[in-house]
Amino acid sequence: MTTSDHPADAATTDHAVDIDRHVRIYITVFVALMVLTIVTVTVSRLHLPVAMAVTVALIVAIIKGSLVACYFMHLISEKKLIYAVLALTGFFFIALMALPSFTVSDGYWMR
């Protein structure tokens, strides 16, 4: 296969050269994730009513997930094509989550 490319190409591989700044971000995100984990477990012990418990848990999970996606997976600085694929996937993911439930609850099956 191709041998090692000349230095100019290292910059066109997926990330820029200021790795040190990235490493500091990784550590910050790690701390945030730990804190949020403790938060979500603590909140769960309050035994909130279901709707509220689900909402809070979901919000915390979305924040944690976004941190992992944006910073560990470098999504915050990804290319448009990747965003497009993920947006499309996200739309169908929501359809898959919502439509079966709406259909069953709107129907006569469970009554």
Partner 1 sequence: MSDQAVAGHVAHEVHHEELGFWRKYVFSTDHKVIGIQYAVTGLLFLLFGFALMMLMRWQLAYPGAALPLIGPLLGEARMPGGTMLPEFYNELGAMHGTIMVFLGVVPLAVGGFGNFVLPLQIGAPDMAFPRINMVSYWCLFLGGITMLGSFFVPGGAAQSGWTSYTPLAVIAGTGQTWWLIGMIFLITSSLLGALNFITTTIQLRAKGLTFMRFPFFCWAQFVTAFLLLLAFPPLEAAGVMQLMDRVAGTSFFMPSGLVVSGQALTNAGGGNPLLWQHLFWFLAHPEVYVLILPGMGIVAEIIANNTRKPLWGYRSMVYSLVFLGFMSFIVWAHHMFMTGMGTAMAAFFQTTTMIISIPSVVILTALIISLWGGSIRFNTPMLFATAFLPMFGIGGLTGLPLGLNIADIPLHDTYYVIAHFHYVVAPGTIFALMAGIYYWYPKATGRKMNETLGKIHFVGSLVCMNVIFMPMFIIGLAGVSRRLFDAGTAYAFAQPTMHWNVVSSWGAWIMALFQLPFIFNFFWSLRNGEAVGDNPWEATTIEWSAPSPPPHGNFLGVPQAYRGPYEYSVPGAPRDFVPQYEA
Partner 2 sequence: MDIPYTVVARRDTGLTNGKIGIWLFLASEVMLFGALFASYILIRTGAPSWPRGDTVLDVPLATLNTIVLITSSVTMVMAWASLMRHRFGMFRIYMGGTILLGLVFLVVKYFEYSHHFRLGELPSHNNFLAIYFTLTGLHGLHVLGGMAVNAYFWGPGAKLWKTNPVWFTNRVEHSGLFWHFVDLVWIFLFPTLYLL
Distance, CA of 105 to CA of 107 (rounded, Å): 5
DSSP 45: T
Residues forming contacts to partner 2 in the complex (CB under 8 A) are: 1-5, 9-10, 12-15, 17, 19, 22-23, 26-27, 30, 33-34, 37, 40-41, 44, 47, 50, 53-54, 57-58, 60-61, 64-65, 68-69, 72-73, 79, 81-82, 85-86, 88-90, 92-93, 96-97, 100-101, 104-105, 110
Contact between 106 and partner 1 by CB under 8 A: the answer reads: yes
Calculated CA dihedral for residues 69, 73, 75, 77, nearest 10 degrees: 140
Crossing angle of helices 19-44 and 50-67, in 10° steps, is 170
| Tokens standing for residue 99 | 């439509």
Contacted by 86, from partner 2, partner 1, none: CB < 5 to 8 Å by type: partner 2
Nearest to residue 25, comparing CAs of 89, 59, 91, 73? 73
- The site partner of 73 among partner 1, partner 2, none (C-beta below 5 to 8 Å per kind) is partner 2
The residue ranges that bind partner 1 (CB under 8 A) are 81, 88-89, 92, 95-96, 99-100, 102-104, 106-109
